[in-house]
Amino acid sequence: MNIHNPYDGGGLWLKGCIHAHTTKSDGRLTPAELMNRYSQHDYDFLAITDHDKMTTAKHPSLLMVPSVEITLPEQRHLLSIGSAVQPNMEEETQDCLARIEQSGGLAVAAHPNQDLPHPGFRWPVEALTSLRGLHGLEIYNHLASLFFPRGLAVDVWDKLLSSGVYPCWGFAVDDTHGMSDSDSGPIRDDIFGGWIVVGCPERTLAALLTSIRRGSFYASTGVTILEVNLSATTLTVSSADAEYVRFIGHAGRVLAEKTGMQGSYTIQGSEHYVRVECYREDGTTAWTQPLLVSQGA
């Protein structure tokens, strides 16, 4: 049995947002205002992903990741993370993915379950499974969860993984536009609702992108994971504040569930993949990346 563990590198934990907009496209905050808000909330890195244009910015305390949100001919959206690739809205999706890969970037499908305000935003599973060079998808989009709501896409993730699409990493993002909603009670801001935490050997842009590419990170809406450890065939995940730990395999099947901040599961070999959700009863969740399980010596 072979188990591919993306977490065997160790290092620092760096928290960041990979989907955010400014006044350079349709956001309400200037690049400086946006960077300062994330910096003040102890983020380590930020990707400004304005629509179809590269926004270049620097900040003294944030690692700034050159990125863009590309509108494809079908009106679907694709994040190019860590790449200065120039958008071409007439380009076919596969050609766009090839350019992102050639330029050293990471391609992430944005809000795959969102069909509002435009039905073309949604990514059908069959479209995603046919692509080569896609590094992952947004399994949680905070903006879409607040205002549509179509933000959760864990179902799509399990379908891709179960179809043999690997690596296929899951990202939680803000997609902030500087919007708020106070019509139904407390103000709900579209910021600080979804992020990733990357296990990185050092605090540099190159190391950050390499770690994201290999899947050495977890996605979260509020729960903190402290450790992901594989000892022989036993996978143990520890958190600071979860109430439950759930292990999930092929087709989204629940393999085991533990009460408390830590859980362990012994991999049998038939799971195809194992991923873990650490969650609380209020719905806040942290997702590990999947560990690929295959037969062989």
In a domain, 195, yes or no: yes
Q: What is the pLDDT of residue 183?
A: 52
In a domain, 46, yes or no: yes
Total domains in the fold of the chain = 1
Q: Between 262 and 119, where is the model more confident?
A: 262
- CATH number of the CATH domain containing 132: 3.20.20.140
In a domain, 110, yes or no: yes
**Beta-bridge partner residues of 200:** 12
In a domain, 250, yes or no: no
182 falls in which pLDDT band (50, 70, 90)?
low
Q: How far apart are CA 170 and CA 104, in angstroms?
A: 19
In a domain, 286, yes or no: no
Cα–chain center distance at 281: 22
In a domain, 288, yes or no: no
Q: What SS3 state is found at 19?
A: coil
pTM of the model: 0.96
Secondary structure element (H or E) that encloses residue 194, with its range: none
Checking if the pLDDT of 23 tops 90, the result is yes
What domain range includes position 187? 8-221
In a domain, 291, yes or no: no
Q: What SS3 state is found at 100?
A: helix
Torsion of CA 35, 36, 41, 44, to 10 degrees: 50
Checking if the pLDDT of 173 tops 90, the result is yes
In a domain, 255, yes or no: no
For residue range 131-149, what is the model confidence (pLDDT) as tens digits? 999 999 999 999 999 888 7
CA–CA–CA angle 21, 22, 28 (5° rounding): 105
Q: How far apart are CA 84 and CA 206, in angstroms?
A: 14
Q: Between 182 and 221, where is the model more confident?
A: 221
Checking if the pLDDT of 2 tops 70, the result is yes
Q: What is the pLDDT of residue 138?
A: 98
Checking if the pLDDT of 180 tops 80, the result is no
